């Protein structure tokens, strides 16, 4: 039974790390990356549709993102969605393609993005600690119900704490790498 608790906690902690990586991937670092537009949803025929489903997104130059819609009628809706997404990008269109010039980051903006990255990391660590708490609560319940012994519960709590430390260290490393990337470019 306690192996099941450990496995559940590990899955929840994995999800927390993956969530942090996804959120950090969306933070703009000063160079063009199609992933910047991952969260953009476009009002297309009355439904919010992810931009990736409406257009091809490429980076032909280090500071340029090119968005080529499959349907030219959607170009204005895509431009509005990009402007509304608060990414700090200004779309320009020639009727066939949208070009997004990725501006150079200022020192203040870099600090702001680094703080945002650290906040993402902290949210991830909170999710990991929440998974630890849920696992420990389950172990306490099993101990109370006499499903496991006191020694097994203590050993399992130690294992869950080691998992927590491991996943928090992973989140710290990912966050530190992103912060370094933001500050150096």
DSSP states of 123-169: HHHHHHHHHHHHHHHHHHHHHHTTSS-HHHHHHHHHHHHHHHHHHHH
Higher pLDDT, 20 or 87: 20
Give yes or no on whether 2-26+106-184 and 34-101 have one common fold.
no
Q: What is the pLDDT of residue 185?
A: 64
Whose CA is closest to 75, among 64, 66, 87? 66
Structure tokens at 1: 């039974």
Q: Which CATH class is domain 34-101?
A: alpha beta
Whose CA is closest to 106, among 30, 176, 36? 30
Question: Average of pLDDT values for 54-58?
Answer: 92
What is the CATH number assigned to the segment(s) 2-26+106-184?
1.10.132.20
Structure tokens at 90: 């200004």
Mean pLDDT score across all residues of the chain: 89
Domain boundaries, the chain: 2-26+106-184, 34-101
84 backbone dihedrals φ, ψ, rounded to 5°:
-75, -10
Asked if the model's pLDDT at residue 30 lies above 80, the reply is no
Asked if the model's pLDDT at residue 136 lies above 90, the reply is yes
Question: Average of pLDDT values for 130-146?
Answer: 92
Asked if the model's pLDDT at residue 1 lies above 60, the reply is no
Q: What is the pLDDT of residue 75?
A: 92
């Amino acid at each position: 039974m306690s192996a099941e608790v450990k496995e559940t906690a590990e899955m929840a902690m994995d999800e927390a790390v993956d969530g942090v990586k996804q959120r950090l991937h969306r933070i703009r670092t000063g160079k063009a990356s199609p992933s910047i537009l991952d969260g953009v949803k476009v009002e297309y025929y009355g439904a919010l549709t992810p931009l990736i489903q409406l257009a091809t997104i490429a980076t032909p130059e280090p500071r340029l993102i090119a968005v080529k819609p499959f349907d030219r009628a959607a170009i204005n809706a895509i431009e509005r969605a990009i402007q509304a997404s608060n990414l700090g990008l200004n779309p320009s269109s020639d009727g066939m393609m949208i070009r997004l010039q990725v501006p150079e980051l200022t020192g203040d903006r870099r600090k702001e993005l680094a703080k945002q990255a650290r906040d993402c990391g902290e949210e991830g660590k909170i999710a990991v600690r929440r998974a630890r708490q849920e696992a420990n609560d389950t172990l306490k319940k099993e101990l109370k119900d006499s499903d496991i012994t006191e020694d097994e519960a203590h050993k399992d709590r130690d294992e869950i704490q080691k998992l927590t430390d491991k996943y928090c260290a992973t989140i710290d490393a990912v966050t530190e790498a992103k912060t370094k990337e933001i500050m150096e470019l």
